[in-house]
Chain A
């Protein structure tokens, strides 16, 4: 199964496995990774599964939809490498992906 690493705002790193085809938000929640609030449950409707994608992985995640871009624009501390974890689908191409969670979600 592909693996994903979440680094929290204090620098602590957690690597977990997720089923292929599962979104990154669910992978975090199912593994009790802190720093992912996910209020809306994966509908791209709340921007509380905001992550910063490591530059090496950003392009491989594909382009965000218009809705995701809108939601991200309301997230505190959004940056060019910001994404919503619920919109990133874990595939073998993303095996090893590294993301950071923002201080606002802790």
Chain B
């Protein structure tokens, strides 16, 4: 049986074709969880590139779905704010503001971003490569043979939280907490998981802050180190942050360094199994790992959108986005826009300009860790090709209930030597 067979797709393709657009809310987390989002977004790109809807949970919002419009909005930071003062970067307005530098405008954004940016300097990436490779080899060598296991848990989560522990110089044996806090920060409270309310989320994040406050206190009195906590504790733009702002920046760095890479590590296995000819071409020519990594990140789009809030009225596609309105830039849709990318629904491991995709965002908020993410994925696939003729998907993937995080909780696989 095909593990990727989706029994819902035909019904949703029909619904996507016929639903009155004003009744359609693209941010319904079910579309991502059920993996039926494609026909809806393809219709929006075609018929309603600037789409308005009133969602009964998240309220009214606009959606942008074309590559070019998203790019133009990304660089128009004078009109489109990321600030947590207005609601930040996700559609659901928060009850209590959580400031973090991705959810700040200039100039404060720039000052805080520059504090942490050296962690992913070209020199630092070069220094980390050996460590990442050794860990990847260890994780892959320890995988069970001739038996089904969950790739998400044994590979994707393990590799990403080890990386994160290193970046924070976080106690290694406690590193599972990083994954737990990351998942808690992004969980949709209606998803049936351990975060069933905003109160639960706040309680868990308070534990995260308490733990990291201990690390801050150790490091603020020591010589400046090269880990993220030390950088924040000594950085001129961050050393006087409120605890709430420290928590916000921690959540940003934990989610940014964790969820996204983790889900691309899983996505790649899915896409190569769905495209056996591409897998064969990769095996025949391991040099294709490099362009493939960018293609995996495009095809996965681990963050489906980013939100902005209009600071003034703005005309687009004959409509007026009013001051104060919220707007989602759907990266997941722009990455499938045939006006910007040839055969966008095809997974092609050797595209001519593979880095031209929206998954990292663009402009001043472009993912600070993009080259590290690419490095981790490149090493993972180089080492997989050294060991296994195939990582075979043997059961259906389970996807996250979220309109924001495009990820997996489960991918049953076997590795074939």
A contacts, CB < 8 Å to B = 37-41, 43-48, 67, 70-71, 73-74, 76-77, 103-104
Supposing A41-B356, A45-B75 touch, asked if A74 and B121 sit within 8 A by C-beta, the answer is no
A46, A71, A74: the one contacting B114 at CB < 8 Å is A74
Contacts of B355 in A (CB 8 A): 37, 39, 48
17 additional A-B residue pairs with CB within 8 Å, beyond A41-B353, A74-B117, A77-B122:
A37-B355, A38-B353, A39-B356, A40-B71, A43-B362, A45-B71, A45-B74, A45-B363, A46-B362, A46-B366, A48-B355, A67-B75, A70-B110, A74-B364, A76-B121, A76-B122, A103-B122
Shortest Cβ gap from A44 to chain B (Å): 7
Determine whether the beta carbon of A70 is less than 8 Å from that of B366. no
Contacts of B106 in A (CB 8 A): 70
Find the B residue at minimum CB distance from A106: B122
CA distance A44 to B366 in the complex (A): 12
Contacts of A104 in B (CB 8 A): 122
Indicate whether B414 reaches chain A with its CB closer than 8 angstroms: no
B contacts, CB < 8 Å to A = 71, 74-75, 106, 110, 113-114, 117, 121-122, 353, 355-356, 360, 362-364, 366, 368
Shortest Cβ gap from A82 to chain B (Å): 15
**What does DSSP make chain A's interface, helix, strand, loop or mixed?**
loop
Contacts of B364 in A (CB 8 A): 70-71, 74
Number of A-B contacts (CB under 8 A): 46
Contacts of B117 in A (CB 8 A): 74, 76
Q: Give 6 A-B contacts (CB < 8 Å), ordered by A residue.
A: A39-B355, A40-B71, A45-B74, A67-B75, A70-B106, A74-B110
CA distance A44 to B75 in the complex (A): 8
B110, B114, B353, B366: the one contacting A45 at CB < 8 Å is B366
Supposing A41-B356, A45-B363 touch, asked if A73 and B114 sit within 8 A by C-beta, the answer is yes
Shortest Cβ gap from B104 to chain A (Å): 13
Determine whether the beta carbon of B122 is less than 8 Å from that of A40. no
Shortest Cβ gap from B132 to chain A (Å): 18
9 A-B pairs closest in CB distance: A45-B362, A104-B122, A39-B355, A45-B363, A40-B362, A45-B75, A76-B121, A41-B356, A43-B71
CA distance A74 to B368 in the complex (A): 9
Shortest Cβ gap from A69 to chain B (Å): 10
CA distance A9 to B297 in the complex (A): 28
Shortest Cβ gap from A106 to chain B (Å): 9
CA distance A48 to B114 in the complex (A): 17
CA distance A73 to B110 in the complex (A): 8
Contacts of A38 in B (CB 8 A): 353
Shortest Cβ gap from B126 to chain A (Å): 10
